[in-house]
Amino acid sequence: MKFNAISARRNAEPPFLSAKVAGQRLSESRFLGGSIFRWKLVLLAATLSFTSSHAAAFGPTGHRVIAKICEANLSVRAKSSLQEILGLQKLAYAATWPDEMRTSTSDRALWAVTSKWHFVNIAKNETYATSVKSEDGDIIMAIRVFTSILKGLPIEKGPIRNALQGYFKDLDSPANQNKIKRFAVKYLVHTIGDLHQPLHAGYLNDRGGNDTPVKWFGQPNTLHWVWDRGLINKQKFSFTELADKLDAMPPGMKTHFQQGGVMQWLDESLALRKVVYDVDKYGSDFGYPYTYDNTPLINRQMQKAGFRAAMVFNQIFK
């Protein structure tokens, strides 16, 4: 598929894709969103439904928080371009669409394939470069492809192009161009968010924490669910409240978070696995100590995802 180039500037590879991997910065403040929360004594009863490949990504609240932070940090040009593509739909609601479609009764074969685009599982002693790649694609491939689409570049050959070809039929049809871009925007903001949930780059042997059972305030669940939803929902904020809280940061710190590129962001999540999988010290039931220790980390990851998604869109639509 070939898109018409919009300009030489937009056809150049953006820095966030070409940046070299830098060292993990784990010396950042443990809690950049404000003071520690006052916890209410509410038990969280949760029912987890598994898919054949991977549990749901960041829950709706997490994705909407990330997208709203992103919206608040868009340039005028990027905001206008996204509005032209999405129409009346807000980015915060578009961001959850890739998860919502995974339960669609139509095009089931497509959504089964796209479920692989939300994560990459890498064994403990492997790197992304040395890992066995999914034949259906993965989160790194997805970010690369959807960035290219929005920049007006040809879609690289591979499983994601094949899936899009099957869904849209004619990738070159003028009538399909905005539909394809809308699809790309929704997946790009979503997958950038997922990349910052460390268990979306989790270990291969337990499917990113999906096969690691835990108790969350007395209720049986999985480690993956705790990081997708539990730690976020336990804060008892609406997504707008949490996004406003986390976006309240000096411009210089936002710029600091926007350093590096996709592979560095992946490496950050890989490094955080040591913290996320360190569960034995909390005993058989995750309660307030686990919440106290790990809420600052999940909030920091949502901050990074929001600021970085804004950077990506600002560079695409500059």
Task: Compute the average pLDDT of residues 69-74.
Answer: 98
Task: Give, for 216, the enclosing helix (H) or strand (E).
Answer: strand 213-216
Alpha-carbon distances of 302 from 91, 200, 228, 243, rounded to whole Å: 15, 13, 11, 9
Task: Compute the average pLDDT of residues 170-177.
Answer: 94
The CA distance from 209 to 223, in Å, is 5
Q: How much is the pLDDT for 106?
A: 86
The CA distance from 259 to 255, in Å, is 7
| Percent of the chain predicted with pLDDT > 90 | 76
Q: Is the pLDDT of residue 49 over 60?
A: no
Q: Is the pLDDT of residue 219 over 50?
A: yes
Structure tokens at 291: 């919440």
Task: Compute the average pLDDT of residues 95-101.
Answer: 95
The CA distance from 133 to 141, in Å, is 10
| Percent of the chain predicted with pLDDT > 70 | 82
Task: Compute the average pLDDT of residues 39-62.
Answer: 50
Task: Compute the average pLDDT of residues 189-204.
Answer: 97
Task: Compute the average pLDDT of residues 150-164.
Answer: 95
Task: Compute the average pLDDT of residues 129-155.
Answer: 96
Task: Compute the average pLDDT of residues 65-76.
Answer: 98
Task: Compute the average pLDDT of residues 132-152.
Answer: 97
Q: For residue 30, give the amino acid letter.
A: R
Structure tokens at 282: 């909390």
> What is the pLDDT confidence band of residue 271, given thresholds at 50, 70 and 90?
very high
Alpha-carbon distances of 35 from 91, 148, 230, 290, rounded to whole Å: 28, 40, 19, 17
Give residue-wise pLDDT tens across range 5-28.
333 333 344 445 544 333 333 334
Q: How much is the pLDDT for 41?
A: 30
The CA distance from 191 to 111, in Å, is 15
Q: Is the pLDDT of residue 71 over 80?
A: yes
Structure tokens at 16: 């966030």
How many CA atoms, within 13 angstroms, populate the side-chain half-sphere of residue 263? 10
Q: How much is the pLDDT for 284?
A: 83
The CA distance from 315 to 318, in Å, is 5
Across the strands, what pairs with 215? 220
Q: How much is the pLDDT for 56?
A: 54
Q: Which of 21, 26, 27, 23 is nearest to 274 (CA)?
A: 26
**Which residue matches tokens 């990074």?**
304
Q: Which of 46-50, 151-155, 208-212, 219-223 has the lowest mean pLDDT?
A: 46-50
Q: Is the pLDDT of residue 141 over 70?
A: yes
Residue 57 contacts residue 190 (beta carbons within 8 Å): yes
CATH label, 61-316, candidates 1.10.287.110, 3.40.50.2000, 1.10.1270.20, 1.10.575.10: 1.10.575.10
The CA distance from 65 to 61, in Å, is 6
Q: Is the pLDDT of residue 236 over 60?
A: yes
Sequence spans of domains, the chain: 61-316
DSSP 146-181: HHHHHTTPPPPSSHHHHHHHHHHS-TT-GGGHHHHH
Give residue-wise pLDDT tens across range 275-290.
999 999 898 899 999 9
The CA distance from 220 to 181, in Å, is 40
Q: What is the mean pLDDT of the chain?
A: 85
